[in-house]
Amino acid sequence: MGSDFTLSFLLFALAGMLVLAAIEDARVREIANWKTGAIALLAPLWWFASGMAPWPDMAIQLGIAVAVFAIFCVVFHFGMMGGGDVKLIVALSLWLPFGAFMAMLMVMSIAGGVLTAGMLIARKLAMRRADSGVENAAIEVPYGIAIAFAGLVAVHEPLLNSLR
């Protein structure tokens, strides 16, 4: 089992990368590969530091990630989510046990719905102020914000406990 410092460092690194990914997605509607790559590559360090056994614990985490990748590739294929969003979700699946990951997906869905509704309302208000002709244009939702928020919610307890 890793030291408390190592576990705290890894959790704060994850939180920092999630915040950076959300900011980037909000600004340019993209999430850089190095951010999702860093999250994914830090996961095995988290596994070792938290005392996960290679079999079956680490194997289960990898299996969850493969299943999540397959499912969200279909979502990407049908244009319902961007590639950066899919990579961020898969990277997070490496960190979270199945139950926590499912809870994260629920929070992500709710946050994404709120974000989308907010963007639709903002566009409607903007259209009232000026006849901009964007009523038929599709909005591009920076779903990385919802994913990052849900990821932070999922790891909030260990993060807060590390500050004590």
pLDDT at 1: 60
139 confidence band (pLDDT: 50, 70, 90):
confident
In the chain, which ranges are E strands?
Answer: none
The rounded Cα 75 to chain-centroid distance in angstroms is 15
| pLDDT digits 0-9 by tens, 105-127 | 999 999 999 999 999 999 888 88
Residue with tokens 């006849």: 131
pLDDT for res 106: 97
Average pLDDT across the chain, whole number? 91
Backbone angles phi, psi at 29, to 5 degrees: 60, 35
Task: Decide if 69 contacts 90 (C-beta within 8 A).
Answer: yes
pTM for this prediction: 0.91
Q: Is the pLDDT of residue 163 over 60?
A: no
Checking if the pLDDT of 129 tops 90, the result is: no
Domain boundaries, the chain: 4-161
pLDDT of res. 97: 92
- Between 4 and 10, name the one with better pLDDT: 10
- Looking at residue 123, its amino acid is R
